[in-house]
Protein backbone atom coordinates (compact mmCIF):
# COMPACT_ATOMS: atom_id res chain seq x y z
CA UNK A 1 0.00 0.00 0.00
CA UNK A 2 1.38 3.32 -1.02
CA UNK A 3 2.12 6.13 1.44
CA UNK A 4 -0.50 8.43 -0.13
CA UNK A 5 -3.16 5.85 0.34
CA UNK A 6 -2.27 5.44 4.01
CA UNK A 7 -2.41 9.19 4.64
CA UNK A 8 -5.75 9.54 2.91
CA UNK A 9 -7.12 6.74 4.99
CA UNK A 10 -5.98 8.39 8.26
CA UNK A 11 -7.37 11.77 7.25
CA UNK A 12 -10.63 10.19 6.26
CA UNK A 13 -10.81 8.37 9.58
CA UNK A 14 -10.23 11.61 11.52
CA UNK A 15 -12.82 13.49 9.52
CA UNK A 16 -15.40 10.79 9.80
CA UNK A 17 -14.93 10.27 13.60
CA UNK A 18 -17.30 12.09 16.11
CA UNK A 19 -15.33 14.78 18.19
CA UNK A 20 -15.48 14.59 22.01
CA UNK A 21 -17.68 16.94 24.11
CA UNK A 22 -14.68 18.91 25.34
CA UNK A 23 -13.45 19.45 21.79
CA UNK A 24 -16.89 20.38 20.50
CA UNK A 25 -17.84 22.74 23.40
CA UNK A 26 -14.47 23.73 24.86
CA UNK A 27 -14.65 27.36 23.87
CA UNK A 28 -18.23 27.73 25.05
CA UNK A 29 -17.37 26.03 28.33
CA UNK A 30 -14.38 28.30 28.82
CA UNK A 31 -16.51 31.38 28.13
CA UNK A 32 -19.18 30.11 30.56
CA UNK A 33 -16.62 29.49 33.29
CA UNK A 34 -15.13 32.92 32.66
CA UNK A 35 -18.60 34.51 32.94
CA UNK A 36 -19.25 32.61 36.20
CA UNK A 37 -15.91 33.75 37.62
CA UNK A 38 -16.64 37.36 36.66
CA UNK A 39 -20.13 37.12 38.18
CA UNK A 40 -18.78 35.63 41.40
CA UNK A 41 -16.08 38.30 41.56
CA UNK A 42 -18.71 41.00 41.15
CA UNK A 43 -20.84 39.63 43.99
CA UNK A 44 -18.16 38.56 46.45
CA UNK A 45 -17.26 41.52 48.67
CA UNK A 46 -13.83 41.88 50.17
CA UNK A 47 -13.59 44.72 52.70
CA UNK A 48 -10.67 47.11 52.77
CA UNK A 49 -9.49 47.05 56.41
CA UNK A 50 -7.21 49.45 58.30
CA UNK A 51 -5.89 48.09 61.59
CA UNK A 52 -4.94 50.19 64.59
CA UNK A 53 -4.82 50.06 68.38
CA UNK A 54 -7.68 50.98 70.69
CA UNK A 55 -8.56 51.04 74.35
CA UNK A 56 -11.93 50.73 76.04
CA UNK A 57 -13.19 53.71 78.04
CA UNK A 58 -16.41 54.48 79.86
CA UNK A 59 -18.47 57.32 81.24
CA UNK A 60 -19.28 56.29 84.81
CA UNK A 61 -17.72 52.82 84.39
CA UNK A 62 -18.66 49.73 86.46
CA UNK A 63 -17.15 49.80 89.95
CA UNK A 64 -15.09 46.89 91.23
CA UNK A 65 -15.93 45.38 94.62
CA UNK A 66 -12.77 43.61 95.80
CA UNK A 67 -11.21 42.26 98.96
CA UNK A 68 -8.94 44.63 100.88
CA UNK A 69 -7.39 41.87 103.02
CA UNK A 70 -6.97 38.11 102.86
CA UNK A 71 -9.83 36.25 104.47
CA UNK A 72 -12.85 34.01 104.26
CA UNK A 73 -16.16 35.23 102.88
CA UNK A 74 -18.38 34.40 105.87
CA UNK A 75 -21.59 35.98 104.51
CA UNK A 76 -22.76 36.77 100.97
CA UNK A 77 -26.03 38.65 100.50
CA UNK A 78 -25.74 39.69 96.83
CA UNK A 79 -27.11 37.83 93.81
CA UNK A 80 -26.51 38.18 90.08
CA UNK A 81 -28.36 41.13 88.47
CA UNK A 82 -29.55 42.35 91.88
CA UNK A 83 -30.55 46.03 91.97
CA UNK A 84 -28.71 47.82 94.77
CA UNK A 85 -28.52 51.31 96.22
CA UNK A 86 -25.37 53.16 97.21
CA UNK A 87 -24.01 51.86 100.52
CA UNK A 88 -25.69 48.44 100.32
CA UNK A 89 -23.74 45.76 102.23
CA UNK A 90 -23.10 42.77 99.95
CA UNK A 91 -21.19 40.50 102.34
CA UNK A 92 -18.86 40.05 105.32
CA UNK A 93 -15.19 39.12 105.29
CA UNK A 94 -13.96 37.08 108.25
CA UNK A 95 -13.13 39.19 111.33
CA UNK A 96 -12.75 38.70 115.08
CA UNK A 97 -15.27 41.49 115.64
CA UNK A 98 -19.06 41.21 115.56
CA UNK A 99 -19.97 42.59 112.12
CA UNK A 100 -23.51 43.67 113.05
CA UNK A 101 -22.30 45.33 116.27
CA UNK A 102 -19.61 47.31 114.43
CA UNK A 103 -22.18 48.40 111.82
CA UNK A 104 -24.49 49.68 114.59
CA UNK A 105 -21.49 51.25 116.33
CA UNK A 106 -20.55 53.04 113.11
CA UNK A 107 -24.08 54.44 112.81
CA UNK A 108 -24.07 55.85 116.36
CA UNK A 109 -20.55 57.26 115.88
CA UNK A 110 -21.70 59.08 112.72
CA UNK A 111 -24.69 60.45 114.65
CA UNK A 112 -22.42 61.62 117.49
CA UNK A 113 -20.17 63.45 115.03
CA UNK A 114 -23.18 65.28 113.56
CA UNK A 115 -24.50 66.19 117.03
CA UNK A 116 -21.11 67.56 118.10
CA UNK A 117 -21.01 69.68 114.93
CA UNK A 118 -24.43 71.06 115.95
CA UNK A 119 -23.07 71.65 119.48
CA UNK A 120 -25.61 69.23 120.98
CA UNK A 121 -23.11 67.96 123.52
CA UNK A 122 -25.40 66.46 126.15
CA UNK A 123 -27.45 64.69 123.47
CA UNK A 124 -24.23 63.17 122.12
CA UNK A 125 -23.27 61.73 125.50
CA UNK A 126 -26.80 60.47 126.16
CA UNK A 127 -27.13 58.76 122.75
CA UNK A 128 -23.93 56.77 123.20
CA UNK A 129 -24.87 55.80 126.76
CA UNK A 130 -28.21 54.50 125.41
CA UNK A 131 -26.43 52.58 122.64
CA UNK A 132 -24.11 50.87 125.12
CA UNK A 133 -27.00 49.80 127.34
CA UNK A 134 -29.02 48.37 124.42
CA UNK A 135 -26.15 46.48 122.73
CA UNK A 136 -24.20 45.22 125.72
CA UNK A 137 -24.73 41.54 124.88
CA UNK A 138 -23.41 41.91 121.30
CA UNK A 139 -20.36 43.96 122.27
CA UNK A 140 -17.28 42.65 120.44
CA UNK A 141 -14.73 45.06 118.98
CA UNK A 142 -12.19 42.57 117.61
CA UNK A 143 -9.47 44.31 115.61
CA UNK A 144 -10.47 47.78 116.86
CA UNK A 145 -10.41 46.92 120.59
CA UNK A 146 -7.31 49.06 121.30
CA UNK A 147 -8.80 52.05 119.46
CA UNK A 148 -12.04 51.62 121.38
CA UNK A 149 -10.19 51.75 124.73
CA UNK A 150 -8.62 55.08 123.78
CA UNK A 151 -11.99 56.45 122.70
CA UNK A 152 -13.92 55.27 125.76
CA UNK A 153 -11.35 56.87 128.10
CA UNK A 154 -11.86 60.24 126.40
CA UNK A 155 -15.62 59.69 126.48
CA UNK A 156 -15.66 58.88 130.21
CA UNK A 157 -13.47 61.89 131.06
CA UNK A 158 -15.70 64.23 129.10
CA UNK A 159 -18.81 62.62 130.57
CA UNK A 160 -17.48 63.31 134.08
CA UNK A 161 -16.96 66.96 133.19
CA UNK A 162 -20.52 67.26 131.97
CA UNK A 163 -22.50 64.86 134.15
CA UNK A 164 -20.25 64.45 137.21
CA UNK A 165 -21.72 67.65 138.65
CA UNK A 166 -18.63 69.41 139.99
CA UNK A 167 -17.67 71.49 136.96
CA UNK A 168 -21.21 72.28 135.90
CA UNK A 169 -22.24 73.10 139.49
CA UNK A 170 -19.22 75.35 139.90
CA UNK A 171 -20.02 77.04 136.60
CA UNK A 172 -23.64 77.52 137.68
CA UNK A 173 -22.60 78.97 141.05
CA UNK A 174 -20.20 81.41 139.43
CA UNK A 175 -22.87 82.55 137.01
CA UNK A 176 -25.28 83.07 139.94
CA UNK A 177 -22.62 85.07 141.81
CA UNK A 178 -22.20 87.34 138.82
CA UNK A 179 -25.97 87.76 138.63
CA UNK A 180 -26.06 88.81 142.32
CA UNK A 181 -23.19 91.23 141.82
CA UNK A 182 -24.89 92.77 138.81
CA UNK A 183 -28.09 93.33 140.79
CA UNK A 184 -26.05 94.79 143.66
CA UNK A 185 -24.35 97.16 141.25
CA UNK A 186 -27.69 98.33 139.94
CA UNK A 187 -28.75 99.07 143.53
CA UNK A 188 -25.49 100.92 144.20
CA UNK A 189 -25.88 103.01 141.07
CA UNK A 190 -29.40 103.93 142.11
CA UNK A 191 -28.14 104.78 145.61
CA UNK A 192 -25.37 106.90 144.11
CA UNK A 193 -27.85 108.80 141.97
CA UNK A 194 -30.06 109.55 144.94
CA UNK A 195 -27.07 110.58 147.07
CA UNK A 196 -25.87 112.94 144.33
CA UNK A 197 -29.31 114.57 144.23
CA UNK A 198 -29.31 114.85 148.03
CA UNK A 199 -25.83 116.42 147.99
CA UNK A 200 -26.95 118.89 145.36
CA UNK A 201 -29.89 119.97 147.52
CA UNK A 202 -27.67 120.28 150.59
CA UNK A 203 -25.17 122.35 148.60
CA UNK A 204 -27.94 124.73 147.56
CA UNK A 205 -29.16 124.91 151.17
CA UNK A 206 -25.62 125.47 152.44
CA UNK A 207 -25.12 128.30 149.93
CA UNK A 208 -28.12 130.07 151.47
CA UNK A 209 -26.77 129.40 154.97
CA UNK A 210 -23.39 130.77 153.93
CA UNK A 211 -24.99 133.97 152.63
CA UNK A 212 -26.90 134.43 155.85
CA UNK A 213 -23.72 133.79 157.83
CA UNK A 214 -21.98 136.58 155.93
CA UNK A 215 -24.90 138.87 156.69
CA UNK A 216 -24.73 137.84 160.35
CA UNK A 217 -28.29 136.58 160.20
CA UNK A 218 -27.44 133.18 161.75
CA UNK A 219 -25.06 132.23 164.49
CA UNK A 220 -21.60 130.84 163.57
CA UNK A 221 -22.37 127.59 165.38
CA UNK A 222 -25.38 126.94 163.21
CA UNK A 223 -23.33 127.67 160.09
CA UNK A 224 -20.63 125.17 161.11
CA UNK A 225 -23.26 122.49 161.78
CA UNK A 226 -24.71 122.92 158.27
CA UNK A 227 -21.24 122.75 156.74
CA UNK A 228 -20.47 119.56 158.70
CA UNK A 229 -23.66 117.94 157.41
CA UNK A 230 -22.71 118.83 153.82
CA UNK A 231 -19.22 117.37 154.20
CA UNK A 232 -20.62 114.17 155.74
CA UNK A 233 -23.03 113.77 152.83
CA UNK A 234 -20.32 114.45 150.21
CA UNK A 235 -18.05 111.83 151.84
CA UNK A 236 -20.68 109.13 151.20
CA UNK A 237 -20.27 109.53 147.40
CA UNK A 238 -16.62 108.32 147.29
CA UNK A 239 -17.62 105.46 149.57
CA UNK A 240 -20.38 104.40 147.17
CA UNK A 241 -17.94 104.68 144.23
CA UNK A 242 -15.48 102.51 146.12
CA UNK A 243 -18.16 99.88 146.69
CA UNK A 244 -19.05 99.99 142.96
CA UNK A 245 -15.38 99.51 142.03
CA UNK A 246 -15.15 96.54 144.39
CA UNK A 247 -18.30 95.14 142.80
CA UNK A 248 -16.79 95.47 139.30
CA UNK A 249 -13.62 93.80 140.51
CA UNK A 250 -15.59 90.92 142.01
CA UNK A 251 -17.51 90.46 138.74
CA UNK A 252 -14.25 90.47 136.80
CA UNK A 253 -12.80 87.83 139.12
CA UNK A 254 -15.88 85.64 138.74
CA UNK A 255 -15.82 86.04 134.95
CA UNK A 256 -12.16 85.06 134.92
CA UNK A 257 -12.97 81.91 136.90
CA UNK A 258 -15.80 81.11 134.48
CA UNK A 259 -13.45 81.62 131.51
CA UNK A 260 -10.87 79.29 133.04
CA UNK A 261 -13.52 76.68 133.80
CA UNK A 262 -14.99 76.96 130.31
CA UNK A 263 -11.49 76.65 128.87
CA UNK A 264 -10.98 73.42 130.82
CA UNK A 265 -14.31 72.09 129.56
CA UNK A 266 -13.46 73.20 125.99
CA UNK A 267 -10.08 71.47 126.17
CA UNK A 268 -11.74 68.29 127.38
CA UNK A 269 -14.33 68.65 124.62
CA UNK A 270 -11.57 69.03 122.01
CA UNK A 271 -9.87 65.92 123.37
CA UNK A 272 -13.17 64.05 123.10
CA UNK A 273 -13.87 65.33 119.57
CA UNK A 274 -10.39 64.30 118.41
CA UNK A 275 -10.86 60.88 119.99
CA UNK A 276 -14.29 60.61 118.34
CA UNK A 277 -12.93 61.56 114.91
CA UNK A 278 -9.98 59.17 115.26
CA UNK A 279 -12.25 56.33 116.34
CA UNK A 280 -14.62 57.05 113.44
CA UNK A 281 -11.69 56.85 110.99
CA UNK A 282 -10.63 53.49 112.46
CA UNK A 283 -14.20 52.14 112.34
CA UNK A 284 -14.54 53.32 108.71
CA UNK A 285 -11.23 51.61 107.88
CA UNK A 286 -12.49 48.39 109.49
CA UNK A 287 -15.69 48.60 107.43
CA UNK A 288 -13.68 49.11 104.24
CA UNK A 289 -11.67 45.96 105.01
CA UNK A 290 -14.31 43.58 106.30
CA UNK A 291 -17.54 44.74 104.64
CA UNK A 292 -18.28 44.60 100.92
CA UNK A 293 -20.25 47.79 100.29
CA UNK A 294 -21.55 49.26 97.03
CA UNK A 295 -20.01 52.66 96.17
CA UNK A 296 -22.86 53.56 93.78
CA UNK A 297 -26.37 52.46 92.89
CA UNK A 298 -26.66 49.96 90.07
CA UNK A 299 -26.81 46.28 89.15
CA UNK A 300 -24.61 43.50 90.57
CA UNK A 301 -22.57 41.46 88.09
CA UNK A 302 -20.27 38.68 89.29
CA UNK A 303 -16.95 38.15 87.53
CA UNK A 304 -16.92 34.45 88.43
CA UNK A 305 -18.35 31.84 90.77
CA UNK A 306 -18.49 33.11 94.36
CA UNK A 307 -19.98 31.45 97.45
CA UNK A 308 -19.95 31.75 101.23
CA UNK A 309 -16.88 30.42 103.10
CA UNK A 310 -14.75 30.99 100.00
CA UNK A 311 -11.20 32.22 100.67
CA UNK A 312 -10.44 35.57 99.06
CA UNK A 313 -7.04 37.10 98.40
CA UNK A 314 -6.10 40.78 98.59
CA UNK A 315 -7.47 42.69 95.54
CA UNK A 316 -9.49 39.67 94.41
CA UNK A 317 -12.64 40.95 92.71
CA UNK A 318 -15.90 39.80 94.27
CA UNK A 319 -18.23 41.46 91.77
CA UNK A 320 -18.97 44.63 89.82
CA UNK A 321 -21.62 47.30 90.31
CA UNK A 322 -22.80 48.49 86.92
CA UNK A 323 -24.28 52.02 87.32
CA UNK A 324 -27.54 52.81 85.58
CA UNK A 325 -26.02 55.53 83.41
CA UNK A 326 -22.84 53.76 82.26
CA UNK A 327 -21.77 54.44 78.67
CA UNK A 328 -18.94 52.56 76.97
CA UNK A 329 -16.87 53.52 73.96
CA UNK A 330 -13.45 52.88 72.44
CA UNK A 331 -10.73 55.41 71.77
CA UNK A 332 -8.58 54.87 68.67
CA UNK A 333 -5.33 56.33 67.45
CA UNK A 334 -5.52 56.49 63.66
CA UNK A 335 -2.15 56.76 61.85
CA UNK A 336 -1.77 59.18 58.95
CA UNK A 337 -1.29 56.25 56.58
CA UNK A 338 -4.56 55.70 54.64
CA UNK A 339 -6.23 58.41 56.74
CA UNK A 340 -8.14 59.60 53.68
CA UNK A 341 -10.02 56.29 53.51
CA UNK A 342 -11.39 56.64 57.03
CA UNK A 343 -14.73 58.39 57.50
CA UNK A 344 -17.34 58.80 60.20
CA UNK A 345 -20.04 56.06 60.42
CA UNK A 346 -17.71 53.34 59.14
CA UNK A 347 -17.92 49.95 60.84
CA UNK A 348 -15.20 49.00 63.33
CA UNK A 349 -14.44 45.51 64.67
CA UNK A 350 -12.68 45.34 68.04
CA UNK A 351 -10.78 42.20 69.03
CA UNK A 352 -9.51 42.08 72.59
CA UNK A 353 -6.30 40.18 73.40
CA UNK A 354 -7.68 39.62 76.91
CA UNK A 355 -10.67 37.81 75.37
CA UNK A 356 -9.38 35.60 72.51
CA UNK A 357 -11.20 36.28 69.27
CA UNK A 358 -11.69 32.57 68.44
CA UNK A 359 -13.50 31.98 71.74
CA UNK A 360 -15.29 35.26 72.45
CA UNK A 361 -15.63 36.87 69.03
CA UNK A 362 -15.41 40.62 68.39
CA UNK A 363 -17.24 43.76 69.50
CA UNK A 364 -18.88 45.69 66.69
CA UNK A 365 -18.95 49.47 66.70
CA UNK A 366 -19.35 52.57 64.58
CA UNK A 367 -16.82 55.34 64.09
CA UNK A 368 -18.58 58.56 65.12
CA UNK A 369 -15.77 61.07 65.67
CA UNK A 370 -12.33 61.84 64.21
CA UNK A 371 -10.29 64.71 65.60
CA UNK A 372 -9.00 67.38 63.24
CA UNK A 373 -5.83 68.01 65.23
CA UNK A 374 -3.22 65.24 65.27
CA UNK A 375 -1.19 64.05 68.24
CA UNK A 376 2.32 62.62 68.13
CA UNK A 377 0.84 59.14 67.62
CA UNK A 378 -1.92 60.02 65.16
CA UNK A 379 -5.52 61.24 65.13
CA UNK A 380 -7.82 60.44 68.03
CA UNK A 381 -11.12 58.81 67.10
CA UNK A 382 -14.12 57.55 69.04
CA UNK A 383 -16.08 54.37 68.42
CA UNK A 384 -19.58 53.76 69.81
CA UNK A 385 -20.57 50.15 70.41
CA UNK A 386 -23.54 48.81 68.46
CA UNK A 387 -24.52 46.19 71.08
CA UNK A 388 -22.68 47.48 74.11
CA UNK A 389 -20.02 45.11 75.42
CA UNK A 390 -21.65 42.05 73.84
CA UNK A 391 -19.68 40.26 71.12
CA UNK A 392 -20.96 38.72 67.91
CA UNK A 393 -20.89 35.38 69.79
CA UNK A 394 -23.41 36.89 72.27
CA UNK A 395 -20.84 36.85 75.07
CA UNK A 396 -20.58 39.76 77.51
CA UNK A 397 -17.24 41.41 78.18
CA UNK A 398 -16.50 42.68 81.69
CA UNK A 399 -15.30 46.25 81.42
CA UNK A 400 -11.97 47.26 82.90
CA UNK A 401 -10.60 50.76 82.48
CA UNK A 402 -7.91 50.90 79.79
CA UNK A 403 -8.63 47.44 78.35
CA UNK A 404 -6.63 47.14 75.10
CA UNK A 405 -8.08 46.06 71.75
CA UNK A 406 -7.08 45.60 68.12
CA UNK A 407 -9.39 47.70 65.95
CA UNK A 408 -10.18 46.92 62.31
CA UNK A 409 -11.78 49.84 60.47
CA UNK A 410 -13.73 48.69 57.40
CA UNK A 411 -13.24 51.60 55.01
CA UNK A 412 -14.66 50.19 51.70
CA UNK A 413 -16.59 46.99 51.01
CA UNK A 414 -15.40 46.47 47.35
CA UNK A 415 -16.11 43.41 45.23
CA UNK A 416 -13.19 41.39 43.85
CA UNK A 417 -14.02 42.61 40.34
CA UNK A 418 -14.01 46.26 41.41
CA UNK A 419 -10.73 45.75 43.21
CA UNK A 420 -9.22 44.06 40.06
CA UNK A 421 -10.21 46.91 37.73
CA UNK A 422 -9.11 49.45 40.36
CA UNK A 423 -5.60 47.93 40.36
CA UNK A 424 -5.51 47.87 36.53
CA UNK A 425 -6.61 51.52 36.37
CA UNK A 426 -4.01 52.50 38.95
CA UNK A 427 -1.24 50.64 37.10
CA UNK A 428 -2.29 52.25 33.78
CA UNK A 429 -2.17 55.74 35.30
CA UNK A 430 1.25 55.09 36.80
CA UNK A 431 2.64 53.81 33.46
CA UNK A 432 1.39 56.94 31.69
What is the pLDDT at residue 174? Answer: 80
What is the pLDDT at residue 287? Answer: 94
Q: Please list the ranges in the chain whose pLDDT falls under 70.
A: 1-26, 38-47, 163-167, 206, 209, 213, 215, 217, 223, 230, 413-432
Contacts 24+ apart (CB under 8 A), 151-157: 151/275, 151/276, 151/278, 151/279, 153/275, 154/271, 154/272, 154/274, 154/275, 154/276, 155/125, 155/128, 155/272, 155/275, 155/276, 157/268, 157/271, 157/272
What is the pLDDT at residue 14? Answer: 54
- Find, among 282, 197, 273, the residue nearest to 233 by Cα: 197
What is the pLDDT at residue 72? Answer: 92
What is the pLDDT at residue 45? Answer: 64
What is the pLDDT at residue 260? Answer: 83
What is the pLDDT at residue 10? Answer: 56
What is the pLDDT at residue 78? Answer: 87
Amino acid sequence: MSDNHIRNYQVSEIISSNPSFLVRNGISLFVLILIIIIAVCSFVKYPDVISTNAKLTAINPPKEIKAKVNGRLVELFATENQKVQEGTILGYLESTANHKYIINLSNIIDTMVQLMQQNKVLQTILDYKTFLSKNKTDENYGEIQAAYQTFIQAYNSYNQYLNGGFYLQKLSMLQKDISYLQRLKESLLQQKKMTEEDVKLMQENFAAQEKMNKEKVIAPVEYRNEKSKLIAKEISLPQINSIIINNDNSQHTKQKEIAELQNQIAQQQNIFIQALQSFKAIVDDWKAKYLFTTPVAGTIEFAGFVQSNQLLQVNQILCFVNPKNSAFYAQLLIPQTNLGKIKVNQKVLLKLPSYPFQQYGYIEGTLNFISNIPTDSGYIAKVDFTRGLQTNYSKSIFFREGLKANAEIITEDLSLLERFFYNIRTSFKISN
